[in-house]
Structure 1
Amino acid sequence: MYGLPRRSRTLLMGLVLLIIGSTMYLKSDNWTAPPIQTYFPPSGIILDPSSLKFRAQAIREAYSHSWGGYMQYAFPTDELLPMSKRGGNSMSGWGASVIDGIGTAVLMELPEIVEEQLNFIAKIDYTKCEHQISMFETTIRYLGGMLSAYDLLSGPYAGMLQARKGEKNYELVQSLLKQSISLADALKWSFNTTSGIPMPFFKLHEKRIKSEDINIIAGFGTLVLEWTRLSDLTGDPQYANLAQRAQEYLLKVENPDVGEPFPGMLGTHVRLNDGKFVDSYGGWGALGDSYYEYLIKMYVYDPKRFRRYMRRWIESAESTMKYLASSPASRPDLIFVAEYSNSKSIGLHGSHLACFIGGNYLLGGQVLNEMRYNIFGLKLVEGCHATYAGSASGIGPERFGWDSSLVPTNQKEFYDKNGWYYGGEIDYRLRPEVIEGYYHAWVATRDNKYREWAWDAFVAINRTCRTEHGFTSISDVSREDGGRKDDKQESFWFAEVLKYLFLIFNEGGIQAREQIGFIPGKKQKWVFNTEAHPMRLYST
């Protein structure tokens, strides 16, 4: 959802982890490794830092480091604030890092951590919450995280806990589904608006319907996968019906003159009282992003039920290629996707958030067997990689632009070389979208350059964002050191960044045999939600 210039990876990784002073462990080989800069297996053969095994283990170690800091200073709050050594509650206070992190711990085969997480999840009381709840975030992080862990632990990873359990761990896995029902039942009253579009933010204890409010298209267009999966697992259609009813306002816009400036490309804000759009600005970035993402993913989930969603995705994909694709004047080899205020006002600026688009095109191209989408997707991945390669830190900024008439005077030389300039927000918030694009590009092509880009990104993040007790956002990617450490380890660091990185390098795991993610030429079995939680397809 991209890397710094290539260096000597052996030397760089050794120096990075030497400075950090981390120690790594090769669980799969049942031996304890000495510090990574003198990494010798018992056989006496040096494990090359460019090897897949080394890299997968480095990413697993980053997870363990982040989890250890969270458990020491932040559990059971939502996230670790590693600089101030305390916890924060920005996601309802139900322990977002636990639920967001469990799927990745399963894929990494860390049973002790998974058991710890399961024991906590089973005891959450979703009927009580002191904080304001985001329907969107709670769905993709909590509901998506629990449903995904249930699919994994009742499916291909069932044996991981069976060896350590008896009946207790079976019940813990079943509690994931029970708790998903409990959460959905606590949230579902928010759909009781005049239109059936849920309120975006609310407090559980108030249960006050505000149909005069508005919601964003990502806010209610990114519920359908999780709520449909819950219905399919339970046999209770009410959850799917609620989400799909709300989605109808986006599948067919009543007045395209306000709300659909290009075929399939929508405005942003929708009224709760009648489901009508109030504006025509938007794009693939914040506030709209995952609505477009879910159109093709619902078709992957069940092609029979969600064929309309696929057709709507094709409309948006075609409009994007026709009206919004843009190349910088200084770098015509690159392609970015513009944002818009309406059909006549195109803004040549983009965001890290929107960099998932390359991977989404690649998924669509593979599923629909449409080479044009694959080629365009790879070009978009390359464009977002340029934002990483051009930054001194090796990490791309939150916002960037490529309008030659708006280049700041002090960035003209930079723009001429790189094809983009810093667009005001120059921080990095542990976001996954660029690495998500690398993952899909690697899956689609098996070209090792995408693995190298992913490794370069990990090394840069490890160097600039790592702290004594976890990882944190940084303030200025234009500086080699990343600037100030901003004191927040986002829960999606566990769910997305580390998961995509691990899947890129862990070739021999269960996830490869189970096709977790899209594998060309293989029967698709799983689809990722927008938080990178893999869910089993309806037909498998």
Structure 2
Amino acid sequence: MSATGGILPTYQRFVTGPSRRSFRSKEKAIIFLVFATFCLVCFGTFFYLPEFKGSGGRVYDQIKRAGPDLLIPPPPRQLEDTREAQRFIRHEEDAKDDPHIFGDREKLKAKIEEDRELKVLERPDQAIVVPKRSSTGNPPLNAPDSLNEPINQIDEILAPEAVTVPPAPAQIYPMRQGGKDREESVRRKRDKVKEMMKHAWDNYVRFAWAKNELKPVSKRGHTGSIFGTQPLGASILDGLDTLYIMGMNEEFKQARDWVVKEFDIDSVVADVSVFEVNIRFIGGLLTCYALTGDTVFRDKAQKIADKLLPAFNTPTGIPNALVNFKTGSSKNYGWASGSSSILSEFGTLHLEFSYLSDITGKTIYRNKVDKIRHVLNTIEKPNGLYPNYLNPRSGKWGQHHMSMGALGDSFYEYLLKAWLLSGKEDNEARQMFDEAMEAAMKHMLHQSPAGLTYFADLKFDRVEHKMDHLACFSGGMLALASRTLKDDHSARYMDIAKQITNTCHESYDRTYTKLGPEAFRFTEGAEARALKSSEKYYILRPETIESYFYLYRLTKDEKYRDWGWEAVQALEKHCRVPGGYTGLKNVYSEDPQQDDVQQSFFLAETLKYLYLLFSDDNFFSLDHWVYNTEAHPLPIKGANPFYREASA
């Protein structure tokens, strides 16, 4: 066929020859609608998916956090130092107009006189008042925020009458200024500990945010912890008050926002430890409430405590060890001497539950722990000792295994500290403590041939010459008991406290890494050394450092600070990795294998006690704060206005 005479296919008719024409109007409209629809779908996909919508989206937040590391190289250290200096200069300039931050002596005194009659309330019906200076000459309050620290730093300004002190506003977390030691070398050590906390925290945020703990070598969340696989943010809740105490305000605000927006206890479906949740979660939240007055912390703590209450539904009121937050069912560990409850667990609830009752006005929490106290006080005790197991159904002791370490430890600590927290009104607790210590020193305290003092374990009438790292807290406990009540026990308590702390230091000093083993023994061939492979590991535990802190505060002997600095150097050399801090599997090895776990208590206890060890004595003074067994400070009733007791 010719090009002119033949019939062309339809699609060629519009592109050849003189008959060429454009699209019809209807065709143009259809094409436009298709194109517009395509653009709308693309636009909506990018901006309106839940992962990207708003700053609350999880993926958006993760990209925002990771952005600087992924796309922007870190600035030179010199530039960071310059920026820090500029921030400090701006802070100094702002302070000129704010005497609560860093004002000069005369301006601050004048401002206090001007504001003496002003009442700043946490709630409309409740003012917070600082009592007058204590008889020791120390300020009556170790200020929990920078609004009050200048008061601690300047002498003569506290008048004999009371001065009203405002709580920290719920949404403002000012930089801390207090607590620095007079010696520059000590201040540098304190700053080093703060840098360690930042390294541990930043890597947790980067690699395991909202997970329970961090695997710093693998750089991911740790799912094999005592909290199971469900992410509960254990490191966040445990580390909150350490961030605040160290003045890490941006990090604290970040953690607080997660507590408000993401932490949902109703979503937890697993069995959890009543003991661990209490000392880490409730304890940490209660401290943050005392520090800031932010009621979100109090309310979250109360909600968690309510979830624990079903565990107390036993014939004796002694709680079971595990409770399911979803169903309310509870049980004990099968291995615990015929499904008994454990002394160190049900005996370590009193501080948090009694304080929670006072700040909420609800007596149910105190009633629960008072019932435990009644059972323990009235039950017959073999040789005055407390076995580690008690059956919650029959109210009878299980195996007669006694220990100042695992399974027993913090029960004794809470007897002493319940008395202190009550403003020394809970005399029953102090009497039980003294009686328990008398029995323990008679039957469990031993001295090695080389003169090392230790608390041995008892299994029925057989002595096991072994001391747990956990038992090293007892040095600090006995020192605190010695200085808080002057009686016939005081001198002996302090003497034993020093000896026990020395023994625990020896357990560190006799290892290659200069970090202490999980347990150590006393035999003819070895003293203060681990003999079994299962005892040679170090999981970033705080107990020995805890005793250094108490002994230094109460004796002012510089050797305890020296020992603490030895621990810092050992941690940096053997436990620090690019992704955080890891435990070790053999402290006697020249090249120890790492366990790849950054425990939440490393943030809550180990680093906090080191920071306090290198701080001034008035910084979270022992006259005004009691540290729970997870190192969360709680205010002493009647001595500390930040107790924040609910109005009647």
What TM-score results when the alignment is normalised by the length of structure 2? 0.67
Residue 286 of structure 1 aligns to a residue whose secondary structure is coil
Residue 146 of structure 1: which of 282, 285, 288 is its match? 285
Deviations 1:369-426 (A, max 9, x none): 212211110111011110011111101110110032xxxxxxx3xx3xx554534410
In structure 2, distance between residues paired with 1:420 and 1:262: 29
In structure 1, distance between residues paired with 2:615 and 2:485: 27
- Where relative contact order (Cα < 8 A, 6+ residues apart) is larger, the structure is 1
Q: CA deviation at 1:145?
A: 0.4
Deviations 1:118-151 (A, max 9, x none): 1111231112213320000000000000001111
In structure 2, distance between residues paired with 1:379 and 1:86: 41
Deviations 1:146-204 (A, max 9, x none): 001111123xxxxxxxxxxxxxxxxxx22001111111112212211222111201222
Counterpart of 2:242, as a letter, is T
Counterpart of 2:611, as a letter, is F
Q: Are 2:209 and 1:75 aligned?
A: yes
Greater CA deviation, 494-503 or 80-89? Answer: 80-89
In structure 2, distance between residues paired with 1:64 and 1:401: 36
For residues 206 and 316 of structure 1, do their structure 2 counterparts lie closer, same or farther at Cα, with a shift above 3 Å needed?
same
Name 1:168's counterpart in structure 2: none
What TM-score results when the alignment is normalised by the length of structure 1? 0.80
What's the RMSD between the two structures over aligned residues? 2.4
The residue correspondences of 1:69-218 to structure 2 (distance < 5 A) are: 69-89=203-223, 90=225, 91=227, 93-123=231-261, 124-154=263-293, 173-210=294-331, 213-218=339-344
Counterpart of 1:107, as a letter, is I
Residue 384 of structure 1 aligns to a residue whose secondary structure is helix
1:139–1:223 CA contact under 8 A, matched in 2: yes
Counterpart of 1:101, as a letter, is G
Counterpart of 1:70, as a letter, is Y
2:321–2:330 CA contact under 8 A, matched in 1: no
Residue 51 of structure 1 aligns to a residue whose secondary structure is helix
Name 1:249's counterpart in structure 2: 375
Counterpart of 2:626, as a letter, is V
Query: What is the percent sequence identity of the aligned residues?
Result: 32
Name 2:521's counterpart in structure 1: 401
In structure 2, distance between residues paired with 1:459 and 1:23: 23
For residues 28 and 313 of structure 1, do their structure 2 counterparts lie closer, same or farther at Cα, with a shift above 3 Å needed?
farther
In structure 2, distance between residues paired with 1:505 and 1:492: 19
Q: Are 2:600 and 1:462 aligned?
A: no
Q: CA deviation at 1:261?
A: 3.0
Q: CA deviation at 1:458?
A: 1.0
Residue 440 of structure 1: which of 550, 566, 570 is its match? 550
1:302–1:537 CA contact under 8 A, matched in 2: yes
Name 1:339's counterpart in structure 2: 457
1:104–1:499 CA contact under 8 A, matched in 2: yes
2:423–2:636 CA contact under 8 A, matched in 1: no
Residue 493 of structure 1: which of 584, 595, 602 is its match? 602
Residue 225 of structure 1: which of 315, 328, 351 is its match? 351
Q: CA deviation at 1:303?
A: 4.6
For residues 126 and 31 of structure 1, do their structure 2 counterparts lie closer, same or farther at Cα, with a shift above 3 Å needed?
same
In structure 2, distance between residues paired with 1:315 and 1:129: 40
1:96–1:142 CA contact under 8 A, matched in 2: yes
1:381–1:434 CA contact under 8 A, matched in 2: yes
In structure 1, distance between residues paired with 2:503 and 2:621: 23
The runs of 5 or more residues in structure 2 that have no matched partner are 1-75, 89-182, 333-337, 641-648
In structure 1, distance between residues paired with 2:285 and 2:428: 28
Counterpart of 1:323, as a letter, is H
Q: CA deviation at 1:209?
A: 4.7
The residue correspondences of 1:306-345 to structure 2 (distance < 5 A) are: 306-329=426-449, 331-332=450-451, 334-342=452-460, 344-345=461-462
Counterpart of 2:322, as a letter, is F
2:403–2:458 CA contact under 8 A, matched in 1: yes
Name 1:371's counterpart in structure 2: 491
In structure 1, distance between residues paired with 2:484 and 2:350: 19
Q: CA deviation at 1:28?
A: 13
Q: CA deviation at 1:29?
A: 8.0
Name 1:169's counterpart in structure 2: none
Q: CA deviation at 1:517?
A: 4.3
In structure 2, distance between residues paired with 1:29 and 1:497: 27
Residue 100 of structure 1 aligns to a residue whose secondary structure is helix
Counterpart of 2:364, as a letter, is Q
Q: CA deviation at 1:109?
A: 0.7
In structure 2, distance between residues paired with 1:240 and 1:433: 28
Q: Are 2:357 and 1:357 aligned?
A: no
In structure 2, distance between residues paired with 1:469 and 1:232: 41
1:328–1:419 CA contact under 8 A, matched in 2: no
In structure 2, distance between residues paired with 1:439 and 1:104: 15
Name 1:502's counterpart in structure 2: 611
In structure 1, distance between residues paired with 2:615 and 2:603: 16
For residues 215 and 235 of structure 1, do their structure 2 counterparts lie closer, same or farther at Cα, with a shift above 3 Å needed?
same
1:251–1:309 CA contact under 8 A, matched in 2: no
2:608–2:631 CA contact under 8 A, matched in 1: yes
For residues 345 and 185 of structure 1, do their structure 2 counterparts lie closer, same or farther at Cα, with a shift above 3 Å needed?
same
1:103–1:145 CA contact under 8 A, matched in 2: yes
1:217–1:250 CA contact under 8 A, matched in 2: no
Aligned residues: 456
1:517–1:534 CA contact under 8 A, matched in 2: no
For residues 134 and 210 of structure 1, do their structure 2 counterparts lie closer, same or farther at Cα, with a shift above 3 Å needed?
closer
Name 1:513's counterpart in structure 2: 618
In structure 2, distance between residues paired with 1:287 and 1:27: 51
Name 2:194's counterpart in structure 1: 60
In structure 2, distance between residues paired with 1:223 and 1:499: 21
The runs of 5 or more residues in structure 1 that have no matched partner are 1-21, 34-48, 155-172, 405-411, 519-523
For residues 384 and 304 of structure 1, do their structure 2 counterparts lie closer, same or farther at Cα, with a shift above 3 Å needed?
closer
Residue 513 of structure 1 aligns to a residue whose secondary structure is coil
Q: Are 2:583 and 1:473 aligned?
A: yes
In structure 2, distance between residues paired with 1:304 and 1:434: 26
Name 1:302's counterpart in structure 2: 422
Q: CA deviation at 1:249?
A: 2.1
In structure 1, distance between residues paired with 2:556 and 2:83: 25
Counterpart of 2:257, as a letter, is N
For residues 475 and 529 of structure 1, do their structure 2 counterparts lie closer, same or farther at Cα, with a shift above 3 Å needed?
same
Deviations 1:323-360 (A, max 9, x none): 2221222x12x211111012x21111111111001000
2:343–2:411 CA contact under 8 A, matched in 1: yes
In structure 1, distance between residues paired with 2:521 and 2:241: 35
Residue 266 of structure 2 aligns to a residue whose secondary structure is coil
In structure 2, distance between residues paired with 1:50 and 1:435: 22
In structure 2, distance between residues paired with 1:469 and 1:32: 28
Residue 152 of structure 1 aligns to a residue whose secondary structure is helix
In structure 2, distance between residues paired with 1:136 and 1:385: 28
